[in-house]
């Protein structure tokens, strides 16, 4: 789970706890209302209105989260190749990644990293690699991409005909500071 997912779910849980505690213990509304009135030096808010607004906002937030969860495409663990009376034949995502790694290593690429997103409508491959012969490989990238696309389509020719999208990057600099080389100094 990504960091922003955790923080969003944590914030959502805190809002739920706050609103549910106000619903269960209405005295907490009085205490909160008095505290806000002391800080802002203004008149207090009607408790029932405050509770209704909090409950309606919680309901709207819950509906929004439900819509987002339903609309986010789910990733599949494998690609269905054949389905008949005897059973299913599928290829795992790791098998597809291994196939691509083997194919790209023939083009003098190393440290190949593949991010594979297998959803219902598209197979997306984000490939980063290193090469000693960067200029030569970059000139060949359109040919490599076309060849790899046709090989992947042939490999994945099964029940599901999905769109295949490939992005290849060669010798891209890492942005994180952990990958920077540190120089040592001898005195």
Contact 109, 137 (CB under 8 A): yes
What is the secondary structure of 152-185 as a DSSP string? HHHHT-SS---EEEEEEEESPPP-SGGGSPPP--
Q: What is the pLDDT, as a whole number, of residue 33? A: 72
Whether 35 and 82 share a structural domain? no
Whether 122 and 59 share a structural domain? no
Question: Model confidence over 82-107: pLDDT tens digits?
Answer: 778 887 777 788 888 888 888 888 88
Q: Which residue has the higher pLDDT, 59 or 174?
A: 59
Please, what is the average pLDDT of the chain? Answer: 77
Q: How many Å apart are CA 124 and CA 78, to the nearest integer?
A: 13
Q: What is the pLDDT, as a whole number, of residue 45? A: 62
Please report, for residues 1, 15, 57, 61, 62, the alpha-carbon distance to residue 9 in angstroms, rounded to integers and kept in the order given.
Answer: 11, 10, 16, 12, 11
Whether 56 and 91 share a structural domain? no
The total of structural domains in the chain comes to 2
Q: How many Å apart are CA 14 and CA 165, to the nearest integer?
A: 40
Q: What is the pLDDT, as a whole number, of residue 178? A: 47
Q: Among residues 38, 71, 104, which one ends one of the domains?
A: 71
Residue 181 lies in a domain: no
Q: What φ, ψ does residue 110 adopt, rounded to 5°?
A: -135, 170
Q: What is the pLDDT, as a whole number, of residue 159? A: 65
- Identify the domain containing residue 151 by its residue range: 78-173
Its pTM stands at 0.55
Q: What average pLDDT score do residues 16-26 get?
A: 76
* Residue 172: band (very low, low, confident or very high) from pLDDT cuts 50, 70, 90: low
Whether 10 and 30 share a structural domain? yes
Q: What average pLDDT score do residues 36-54 get?
A: 72
The two tokens of residue 8 are 């969003």
Whether 114 and 146 share a structural domain? yes
Q: Which residue has the higher pLDDT, 52 or 114?
A: 114
Quick check: 165 pLDDT over 80? yes
Whether 46 and 110 share a structural domain? no
* Residue 55: band (very low, low, confident or very high) from pLDDT cuts 50, 70, 90: confident
């Amino acid at each position: 789970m990504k960091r922003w997912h955790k923080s969003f779910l944590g914030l959502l849980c805190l809002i739920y706890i706050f609103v549910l505690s106000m619903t269960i213990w209405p005295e907490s509304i009085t205490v909160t209302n008095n505290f806000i009135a002391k800080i802002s030096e203004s008149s207090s808010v009607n408790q029932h209105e405050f509770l209704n607004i909090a409950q309606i906002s919680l309901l709207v937030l819950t509906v929004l989260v439900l819509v987002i969860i339903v609309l986010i495409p789910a990733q599949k663990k494998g690609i269905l190749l054949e389905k008949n009376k005897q059973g299913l034949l599928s290829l795992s995502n790791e098998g597809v990644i291994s196939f691509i790694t083997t194919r790209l290593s023939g083009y003098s690429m190393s440290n190949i990293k593949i991010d594979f997103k297998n959803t219902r409508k598209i197979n997306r491959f984000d490939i980063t690699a290193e090469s000693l012969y960067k200029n030569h490989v970059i000139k060949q990238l359109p040919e490599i991409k076309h060849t790899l696309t046709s090989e992947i389509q042939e490999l994945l020719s099964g029940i599901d005909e999905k769109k295949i999208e490939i992005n290849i990057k060669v010798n891209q600099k890492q942005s994180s500071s952990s990958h920077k080389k540190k120089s040592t100094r001898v005195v």
